[in-house]
Chains A and B, each alone.
Chain A
Amino acid sequence: MSSIISIKNLSKSYGTQKAVDGLNLEIQRGEFYGFLGPNGAGKTTTIRMITGILQPDEGEILVDGYAVHEKEYVAKIIGVVPEGRGFYEWMTAEEYLYFFANLYSVSKNNQTSLVDSLLTEVDLTKRRHSKIGTYSRGMRQRLGLARALINRPQLLVLDEPTLGLDPQGQESVQKLLRKLNSEGVTIFLSSHLLDEVSRLCTRIGILNNGRLLVEGTEKEIREKTNLKDKNLTEIFLHLTRT
């Protein structure tokens, strides 16, 4: 397997506060990678640097071998559900997806079938003509996910995609993510929901104070931390206590 994300010695500070401190990461193609960390650990900052909307102070990020600032290539293979979840409230879901389909240069001939299939995948077909301003939080999250899939990405970067969703909403998003991963999409998932990460991810990294504390499969993490009889939540709490 080859790396789809390669991060070397990445650092970012806000004033005197180090948000990310010498981070090294290799995400393999086809992986479902869980990126864990308490609030302020540097997860969102890392994601924003991976997606190219925040400049690192130091270090290098390659996406599929291309530097992230080579936007023309990187933006085409990456799908992002960012932390900033703003929508054009006056648009309908359909108009919103057509707008992004145009930005991603999806050909006019393919747009209708693409938008139809995405709305079906995120279960918004019935509300496709409703204004986004009338949508619930869960519907917005699902629409955000549909937008992230508009370019049929090889890599999907998600910043807490199930935040604030009810259990049904979480389950439907998780089901979709599992399906996408089984179709070969690499998923980089930042989440607070340890149970979600434990169930979905093939590999997990735990970040605290901008540093990667431990990385591997859940089993490897247990071994590395010498906490063999503990679950992921207990390991996480143990590692991030300080």
Chain B
Amino acid sequence: MFRYIWKKEIQGELYTWKSTLWLLISSLLFSVTSYLLLTNKELSLLDQTELLWLLGKIIIGVALLIVTVDASSSITAEFEKETAESLFVSPLKMKDFIVGKLLASLTLWAAIFVVSIPYILVTSAGSHLAVAFLFYIALLGTLGILGFVFLIFAVSLLFRSSKNTLTTSLILLLGLSIPAVFTSTLKTDVVSQIISKVNPIDSIFSSLDNVLVDYKLSLTQNWQYILPLILFCMLTFGLLIFAMRHFEKKGVISNE
């Protein structure tokens, strides 16, 4: 049954031009970034691997931001626009509802990834890293986005308000992103290193660095970065399960 929710979400995004707008914004940001990386005097002096690394950070950063904003209203809109009551008096199960919404968010990520492919190919022209770069962007982006969507959906079910969900999700995203953009020279103490190791966004950027700068292309060589991402997904999935149970216990309508 989840596929009907998934289809409805995709249709809704297309009819309301929301996804078109998101893809246009992504495309513009990737265009500006690629143009600057390739033509700006100072930036173009960077090594190609560093250009790719910067582009990779921007692709994943933009995708995380767009999916966060989009997913924040995905569940809560059903309550705020009073469509939840009709949905939940039907035989629709909670897990189908969540899976349908989750697939819609992953579809948005997939579309952003597809939009980014030409920019990746242009920026990596002449390099042997294009395929590995694409693979790692897809893998790390999917894991990161999956974890964040689990988290956002859990917050949505607990708060049932798009404003609260969006604010909380953006604070969490910013909170995890800010330490990740610091250079490794600022992360010499034990605390910073621990935070860096458990921070999913840091893991994504470090893995890209490992692939592009250190040429460590195999999955086994990136395991130390992929594992924290998987753990992050498991943790947020656990939180989502808790939020679903809490939601079902309280009822679709929790108060008047």
Contacts and interface: CB of A to CB of B under 8 A. Distances in A.
A and B pair up: yes
Given A14-B256, A19-B256, A99-B8, A84 B82 contact: yes
B89 A80 contact: yes
Contacts of A88: 8, 12, 83
B104 to A, nearest CB: 14
A203 interface: no
Interface of B: 1, 4, 8, 11-12, 15-16, 78, 81-93, 249-253, 255-256
Interface of A: 14, 19, 44-45, 48, 51-55, 71-72, 75-76, 78, 80, 82-88, 90-91, 95, 99-100, 102-105, 144, 147
Given A80-B89, A82-B89, A55 B84 contact: no
Contacts of B15: 90-91
Contacts, number: 81
Nearest to B87: A103
Contacts of B83: 84, 86-88
A147 B15 CA distance: 21
B1 A85 contact: no
Contact of B86 (A71, A72, A147): A147
B4 A103 contact: yes
Contacts of A103: 1, 4, 87, 90-92
B85 A83 contact: yes
Contacts of B12: 88, 90
A77 to B, nearest CB: 10
A86 B86 contact: yes
A51 B16 CA distance: 31
